[in-house]
Amino acid sequence: ISMLDVRTANPNTHIFDLQQSLDTADPLHANDVKPLPLHLANAFPGFKPGDLLVSYNTTNLLFVVDPVSLKLKWWRMGSWDRQHDPNWNPDGSISVLSNNTREVERGNRHHSDIVAIDPSILDNRILIHGRDYGFFCTFNGRHVLTDAGTLLITSSTQGRVFEVDRAGRVVFDFVNLYDAEKQLYLHVSDAFY
């Protein structure tokens, strides 16, 4: 699907005009797309199986587009910062890994968060406060809500995979340490349960 065609199909929606920098080859940085799975469709009224959840990292934008008509069905920006890995969840929420890298550039937070939003009422909440877990990654991080109700998180730049249960306890923690003396970690891009 061409994003130019999506823009053309939505002439009165100007969210794609927001760009952090025109100096880069990838000013929007589309970093993930997830179709709505059939088994989760009932949790998302207003959407249908196969609708695409798309993440534009540079503009902090998530949107849902019909892959046939190319019409936008939903969009939201600003509740996360340079996000990765949006997911459709069984409770009807969409969750995303908020890198929070702009805050670091401003000299503020040094942690990433997992943020969830209810697309029907735009209510968002932080599922995992990264500062409580020493969690910070700048790119390529992942998260998944497991069948057991835990969150499995990949902190790529920390070389770390950890799992947090519903009570907020870390029940699994793996660090891919390369050199303890120099505090060097090998990149971990994903984990599966």
Q: Is 103 exposed, middle or buried (0-12, 13-18, 19+ CB in 10 A)?
A: middle
Burial of 60 (0-12, 13-18, 19+ CB in 10 A): buried
pLDDT at residue 23, rounded to an integer: 56
Q: What are phi and psi of 160, to 5 degrees?
A: -125, 140
pLDDT at position 106:
58
The pLDDT value given to residue 109: 59
Q: In a structure prediction context, what are the per-residue pLDDT tens digits for the chain, which is 193 residues long?
A: 887 788 888 777 767 666 555 556 655 677 789 999 999 999 999 999 999 999 987 788 899 999 999 999 999 987 888 888 999 999 999 999 998 876 655 566 588 999 999 999 888 899 999 999 999 888 888 999 998 999 999 998 888 999 999 999 999 999 887 887 877 778 888 888 7
- The pLDDT of residue 30: 73
- CB 59 within 8 Å of CB 53: no
- CA–CA distance from 42 to each of 19, 144, 187 (Å)? 34, 19, 37
Q: Any idea how long the chain is?
A: 193
